[in-house]
Structure 1
Amino acid sequence: MKASAFVYPWDVAGDPGAADRIAGLGVEQATLAAAYHSTRALTPRHPRHRIVTAEHAAVLYPPGDRWAGRVLRPYVAGDWAPGDAWGEAAGALAAAGLEVHTWVVLAHNSRLGMEHPHTSVVNAHGDRYPWAPCIAQPAVRAYLVDLAAEAAVRPGAHGTELESLGWYGLRHLHAHDKTAGVALGDAGEYLMSLCFCPDCRDGYGGHGLDADKLAAVVRAALEPVWRGAPDGEGWRDVERLLGADTAAATLAWREHTARTLQEDAVAAVRAAAPEGFQVLLHADPVSYHCGANAGVDPAHILSVADGVVVPCVGGTELLAPFAARAGLDTVLAANLTVVSGLGGSPDTLAADAARAQDAGATELRLYHAGLASDGDLAAVQEALSGH
């Protein structure tokens, strides 16, 4: 199976040995961040720094003229990725023999939400989630579609991987997160991720729901959770809490909103890209799930994109729904963490890759070449040498 390593531009720029070191792992591709959220990242081998603090979500290249005069526009990076950091890193990786694809984070942007609060998801209690742009809002959708096209199709890129192209909800891993004190479960996460901004309120109305009554039902359904009552798992529990018809109406609105955004974003990327440009989505086969791996309907998304990148850290069960709908040319990339300090298992990579292949994976994604220790990278190299 073809393997690709995730990389940040700051892992490569300024380190003359980085590109060859990544190529030496045995990967054929580098998936290089072109638009990314705020983060604090370790760079254990870089000759100039050990910690990079990306203070806000930013594009890692100079944004184009399409943003002139627009209120919602991408932020440029600070000194953690100045100028065309993506282009500099991509050039070095390509010179080392790697095929370079872009890695584009979309509906996850805390600075956007802080500077333009009206763009954020609003829960049933009236709390805003500044990290989560509401993908139902026309201005947000236009911003995300144009960002997808621009950030994905960078000079020299052979394809892209679009992350967070769907609903973002409560779960975020925000700075010093303190939200795990009450176990919400699958159903609680869904209820706490329902948006009640003006556009979503209108959307619920179009599906026969009164938004005020729905918000009250959601708040009441969550009350036992705040008192520590165990919450069930899965969609059946959402139906129990909201009623089957109400639950179905909320999901219909959210699925339609996400699907049409995904269709528009992929179409915009294809229109901007050369022939043969590969478009993948980071995806979860459970359509009501939120987050970086957008909840999707496998049949629909595989009719839109060339394939998906699927989280497989805890096992390969999420691959099966996509494998059942895959065509001969569909890319099913199993995303495996190879950083021990982040819970990854580089020492079992060969076995994990074999299990993923048996479950239908056609490619591997390795998170993350820049964050891993020397020992982790040595284990990856050993695993891929017999791959």
Structure 2
Amino acid sequence: MNASIWAHPWDLVDEGPEAVAERLDDLGIDTVNLATTMHSVQTLNPHNPERKTFFADASAYFQPDESRYGELTPDVNETMGEADWVGEITDAFAGSPVALRSWTVPFHSSKQGRNHPDATMRSPFGDSLVWGLCPSNPDVQEYGRALAADVADARDFEAVEMELADYQYGTGYGWHHQEFFTELGPLGEFLFGLCFCEHCRANATDAGVDVDAARESAQDALDARFDGDLAADTDVGGWLAEHPAVRDYAHVRRETLSELLEDFADEIAPADFTYYLKMGGLGDDRMGIEHSWKHGLDLDALSGIVDGVTVLAYHEDPTVVRDDVRATRTMLDVPVTAGILAGHPILDSKARLRSQIETAVDAGADRLSFYGYGVLPERNLEWIGDVLDAIE
């Protein structure tokens, strides 16, 4: 079974990339999904010999070709400084049996959002959502195309895998110490993150949508939720059917995003372009990939753009992993990778890991990807090797 693992560059640099490549090969891992740009993060690194934790703002882990970029440019990681960790790793992996893919997170960047508030998504109330750059914004589109080309051209990656190169969702995927003490529910979460920046509004207006009605409906629904006058479990589809301006407004951005993803594919070629499908939070079993439209994704269009998808099936219950993989295979006509979080809080034993792997394979996964090299304890890495060896 083809198997990959996500990895942060600091762990590979600290342990020695040649040694890591050899170790992964021994475990049966044939590919590393290497973070080239990433959101803000603190990691716990159980087997890192240099540092047991790492803090970073959203940043890049390579030295970008600044001539490619316009208003927005990648923020080079401060700890890395003048070094080029991605370059060091790609050089070290040359000739290794372990291939490299770029794991690129372009638009989930609180640092870019703070520095460029005009490029961020805007809530229905006009608030800048600093964790997310808006794909409708021309400066953001230019930045995304340049980043895709920069990553693909300057490094020897067999594929560029993108995560959250879309409108993201709701309140985002974490930024700081968030104090949300009102239950938004699925509808409130969706509406809170529905972008009403000037570019999204202009696109919708051009498509004939009553933007003012859409925004007013979204604001009214959120205010009603804040006041307890709208149930937290209000059905999203039913509500949208009663508020067609919001439904049509949300529909417009799917075309915008599909066109941008086509541009990314062109910039990345001849390397493969793969995309991550992610709904809900860690271990959230409530929303499968059929809710991807809330990110602005059109799955039918995506099938014609990408060379593969990875469904992030981070669930304790193997039956939910099965459902994620099956739904992905049904809804997209491309190879499917099952992403498995091989540690806390999802898994606590080799037996549970094996159950997840076997379930994903039986459901039709074409390959597996594990999260993640530096953040897993030694024993969990050994579990991966043992289970991969057992199922061959």
Determine if the TM-score, normalized by the shorter chain, exceeds 0.5.
yes
Q: SS at 1:40's partner residue?
A: strand
Q: Partner of 2:112 in structure 1?
A: 112
1:244 deviates by 4.5
Amino acid at match of 1:174: W
* Cα distance in 2 between the residues matched to 1:200 and 1:153: 31
Q: SS at 1:13's partner residue?
A: helix
Q: Does 1:280 align with 2:286?
A: no
**CA 1:300–1:233 in 2, change beyond 3 Å: closer, same or farther?**
farther
1:94 deviates by 4.7
Amino acid at match of 1:230: A
Among all aligned residue pairs of Structure 1 and Structure 2, give the percentage whose two residues are the same amino acid. Answer: 24
Q: Partner of 1:45 in structure 2?
A: 47
1:305 deviates by 0.7
Q: Does 1:266 align with 2:285?
A: no
Out of 325, 329, 334, the residue aligned to residue 323 of structure 1 is: 329
**CA 1:373–1:71 in 2, change beyond 3 Å: closer, same or farther?**
same
1:178 deviates by 2.1
Amino acid at match of 1:356: A
Residues 280 and 306 of structure 1 are in contact (CA less than 8 Å); yes or no, is this contact kept in structure 2?
Answer: yes
Q: Partner of 2:372 in structure 1?
A: 368
1:154 deviates by 4.1
Q: Partner of 2:20 in structure 1?
A: 18
1:130 deviates by 0.9
1:322 deviates by 2.9
Residues 255 and 288 of structure 1 are in contact (CA less than 8 Å); yes or no, is this contact kept in structure 2?
Answer: yes
- Give the unaligned 5+ runs of structure 1: none
Amino acid at match of 2:249: T
Which range moves more in the overlay, 105-114 or 230-239?
A: 230-239
* Cα distance in 1 between the residues matched to 2:328 and 2:202: 32
Q: Partner of 1:334 in structure 2?
A: 338
Residues 214 and 246 of structure 2 are in contact (CA less than 8 Å); yes or no, is this contact kept in structure 1?
Answer: no
Q: Does 1:123 align with 2:123?
A: yes
Q: SS at 2:126's partner residue?
A: coil
* Cα distance in 1 between the residues matched to 2:305 and 2:367: 19
1:84 deviates by 1.5
Q: SS at 1:369's partner residue?
A: coil
Q: SS at 1:324's partner residue?
A: helix
Q: SS at 2:14's partner residue?
A: coil
Q: After superposition, what is the alpha-carbon deviation per residue over 1:128-163, rounded to whole angstroms, capped at 9, x for unaligned?
A: 101111111111111111112212444221112111
Q: SS at 2:87's partner residue?
A: helix
Q: Partner of 2:313 in structure 1?
A: 312
* Cα distance in 2 between the residues matched to 1:164 and 1:364: 20
Residues 61 and 80 of structure 2 are in contact (CA less than 8 Å); yes or no, is this contact kept in structure 1?
Answer: no
**CA 1:235–1:264 in 2, change beyond 3 Å: closer, same or farther?**
farther
Q: Does 1:255 align with 2:258?
A: no
1:325 deviates by 4.9
1:167 deviates by 0.7
* Cα distance in 2 between the residues matched to 1:191 and 1:286: 14
* Cα distance in 2 between the residues matched to 1:35 and 1:6: 13
Q: Partner of 1:171 in structure 2?
A: 172
Q: Does 1:301 align with 2:306?
A: no
**CA 1:73–1:58 in 2, change beyond 3 Å: closer, same or farther?**
same
Q: SS at 2:383's partner residue?
A: helix
**CA 1:136–1:164 in 2, change beyond 3 Å: closer, same or farther?**
same
Amino acid at match of 2:233: G
Q: Partner of 1:160 in structure 2?
A: 160
TM-score for the superposition, normalised by structure 2: 0.88
1:62 deviates by 1.0
Residues 312 and 339 of structure 2 are in contact (CA less than 8 Å); yes or no, is this contact kept in structure 1?
Answer: yes
1:207 deviates by 3.2
Q: SS at 1:289's partner residue?
A: helix
Q: After superposition, what is the alpha-carbon deviation per residue over 1:230-263, rounded to whole angstroms, capped at 9, x for unaligned?
A: 32365414415xx242233112212112111111
* Cα distance in 2 between the residues matched to 1:285 and 1:298: 9
Amino acid at match of 1:278: D
Which range moves more in the overlay, 56-65 or 314-323?
A: 314-323
Amino acid at match of 1:318: D
Q: After superposition, what is the alpha-carbon deviation per residue over 1:83-130, rounded to whole angstroms, capped at 9, x for unaligned?
A: 210121233345552111111101111111111111011111121101
Q: CA RMSD in A?
A: 2.1
**CA 1:155–1:126 in 2, change beyond 3 Å: closer, same or farther?**
closer
Residues 211 and 249 of structure 2 are in contact (CA less than 8 Å); yes or no, is this contact kept in structure 1?
Answer: no
Residues 114 and 130 of structure 2 are in contact (CA less than 8 Å); yes or no, is this contact kept in structure 1?
Answer: yes
Q: SS at 1:33's partner residue?
A: strand
* Cα distance in 1 between the residues matched to 2:347 and 2:158: 28
Q: SS at 2:27's partner residue?
A: coil
